[in-house]
Structure 1
């Protein structure tokens, strides 16, 4: 591993910075109502995906597959920008959803039920929670693209225009706050909503059990 590569003791801090930057930049773009918001969103997402690839587990097969997926997503975004194609936009959304799902699973493999509890592992657990929220957000956008009208409160536009509303609704649902400004009104969207609420609660329980289990194992081993 090169001197500039992240180590197992600090890799998740870079991912956390990229994720928070993605969330903040998206909110800021919506607040300022920038005209070329879709392009800026694509750039922010591509940057986050690159950091995720760079900072996460580097087994050759998985690393190469994530690099290829990131390049493919960026290429689709560029093609969509010039061609303004609904098909390319939907394809990009599918692959972004797939990337975040895959990366979340990889992070879970590194964080839960193994290794020692340190600051990097705690930061990694936060990264997983944020990526879960983003994954669900893209799933709502995907359902809305395929079945328009699934989410009451989304605009009838390309998914880029609804991204921040989807992210907001996702995290509100994940934490079971449920403010009610955005509402799933079709069966598949409702299914995703209650599954996300269940996932959020079970993740906290599993995370606590994992950390306690690791700590008890260290005590038993005399550390």
Structure 2
């Protein structure tokens, strides 16, 4: 089970981090961005099913990821940045799998089911965005049109590219230049389409089954 309103809190945190960061052209943008992303990680912990093992693993992962993120922001050390990115991808992957279990095991379509499904979609984009950041950090110039350094609080361009790829609505202003990035971009685009197809089929099936039982 999840806490009441947990999916709504996570969705607000995710959308808030996406919307607020790009509006901050001056001032401590990186600090605010990192604070918003830390809120996403904390909200993700709350949304995970309340089984003791899952909750402990999620809380530990989020705590270390948040700590590494702030350490990377302060020091700018590439090793710490890489560790932060790797752990964040693993943590988001764990949360996504946990939430998939909640959404696809439900027997009734309720508001929380829909909110959870939307959260998963955004988190997939976040996870791939951080994955792309790992590649860009290790192999600079893997993307064309990227004007931000790979560091905490400055990943909006890659998350923007990731969500554009996931939804297959990319504007084309950021382009993959190396074979690994191109391959991963194709896989992400396919993942987004398959997820939506399976999700819609599942929710429609549940709705039909529920209607036939009335």
2:70 alignment partner in structure 1? 78
Runs (4+) of structure 1 exceeding 4 A deviation are none
Does residue 48 (structure 1) correspond to residue 43 (structure 2)? The answer is no
- TM-score by length of structure 2 reads 0.91
Q: What is the aligned counterpart of 2:3 among 6, 12, 17? A: 6
2:15 alignment partner in structure 1? 20
Q: Secondary structure at the match of 1:155?
A: coil
Distance 1:218 1:156 in 2: 49
Q: Secondary structure at the match of 2:155?
A: helix
Matched residue pairs, number? 214
Change (3 A) 1:92 1:24: same
Please state how far the C-alpha of 1:16 moved relative to its aligned partner.
0.8
1:99 alignment partner in structure 2? 91
Distance 1:84 1:57 in 2: 34
* Structure 2 segments unaligned to the other structure (5+ residues): none
Measured against aligned partners, the alpha-carbon deviations of 1:89-135 in whole angstroms (never above 9, x if no partner) come to 11111111111111111111111253200111111111111111111
1:33 alignment partner in structure 2? 26
Q: What is the aligned counterpart of 1:165 among 148, 157, 166? A: 157
Does residue 109 (structure 1) correspond to residue 101 (structure 2)? The answer is yes
* Structure 1 segments unaligned to the other structure (5+ residues): none
Distance 1:157 1:102 in 2: 26
Please state how far the C-alpha of 1:218 moved relative to its aligned partner.
2.5
Does residue 176 (structure 1) correspond to residue 168 (structure 2)? The answer is yes
Please state how far the C-alpha of 1:77 moved relative to its aligned partner.
2.5
